[in-house]
Amino acid sequence: MKRSLRIPAALTCAALLLLPVVAGAYRPAPPPQELVRLEVVDRDRGTPLPAWQHRGDTWIAGRPGTPYSVRLRNTTGERVLVVLSVDGVNAVSGETAAPDQTGYVLAPWQSTEITGWRKSTDDVARFEFTALPDSYAARTGRPDHVGAIGIAVFRERAAPAAVAAPAPARDTARQAARASAGASESAVARESAAMPQQIGTGHGAREWAPVTRTAFERATRTPAQRTVVRYDSAEALAALGIGPRLHARRQRPDAFPGGFVPDP
């Protein structure tokens, strides 16, 4: 049994894990359940960043200097473990990310926002979009996977009986449905015709974000859900034909605008 960290419920944060088919008819299999919904939130505006689908990937646009958080919503009545990767780096341990590493434990139906790189059980260094050379991954010699935010989700072995969804679950279900096009598993390779990655995630100012220890035993060795959201600057996405088209407003010159010659 591994040990983990539990966050006080009043903080609405996550806990941190330290250690009938009709005969003769064809019916497609239902899509796998999204155990945890993933959104990236612009903390300056307090709203999720718009997401666009492109060639099977989900994309968001970031602005350098903008702090963001990763919003995780447990859509089940059982505890789950979420291993969070930002730019190919485990957001808790700082290791090159892998699904079998440490992560956050969400209580049944719990929603939380992870605001930064875990520095201790009390604080984090906030996530913020920055120029790629200033990203934490690049500064630690790991720039190859900058531009990907991902989660690996695990069910708990011998989990207690499921907890009934709270009354606001209808809204949560609708939001989850709207976000079904949001996070999806994706390869991190960039299109050959795209411009190089423009931005990454920096190691920002320290913030108070306490967690406490708890225990969690994974039901399986492989995650029940893998979700990846890719990001880059709005200009880089526009070059790929993603998101709203960016129009460069260039004034048309006039050869005879009138007037006399002014002093320079």
- Tens of pLDDT, residues 200-224: 999 999 999 999 888 999 999 999 9
Output the pLDDT for position 246.
59
Are the CB atoms for 3 and 213 separated by under 8 Å?
Answer: yes
Output the pLDDT for position 177.
46
Tell me the Cα Rg of the chain.
22
Output the pLDDT for position 182.
43
Non-local CB neighbours of 187 within 8 Å, separated by 6+ positions: 57
Output the pLDDT for position 162.
75
Phi, psi for residue 179 in degrees, rounded to 5: -95, 5
Are the CB atoms for 73 and 132 separated by under 8 Å?
Answer: no
Place of tokens 């139906």: 109
Output the pLDDT for position 260.
73
Element (H, E) at 229: strand 225-232
Output the pLDDT for position 22.
35
For the chain, which residues make up each domain, given as ranges?
Answer: 2-19+32-239
* CA angle, 169 then 38 then 15, to 5°: 80
The ranges of the chain with pLDDT < 50 are 7-15, 18-30, 172-174, 176-190, 192, 248
List the helix and strand counts (H, then E) for the chain: 3, 17
- Rounded to the nearest angstrom, the gap between the alpha carbon of residue 87 and the centroid of all alpha carbons in its chain is 10
3-class secondary structure, 122: coil
Q: How far, in Å, CA of 64 to CA of 24, rounded?
A: 56
The CA-based dihedral angle spanning residues 216, 218, 219, 223, taken in that order and rounded to the nearest 10 degrees: 140
Structure tokens at 239: 């070059």
pLDDT tens track for 35-78: 999 999 999 999 999 999 999 999 999 999 999 999 999 999 99
Element (H, E) at 176: helix 169-178
Q: How far apart are the first and last CA of the chain?
A: 77
Output the pLDDT for position 213.
84
Q: Name the residue type at position 234.
A: A
Residue 6 region by backbone torsions, left for phi larger than 0, else alpha for psi between -120 and 50, else beta? beta
Phi, psi for residue 85 in degrees, rounded to 5: -115, 130
Determine how many CB atoms are found less than 10 A away from the CB of residue 160. Answer: 10
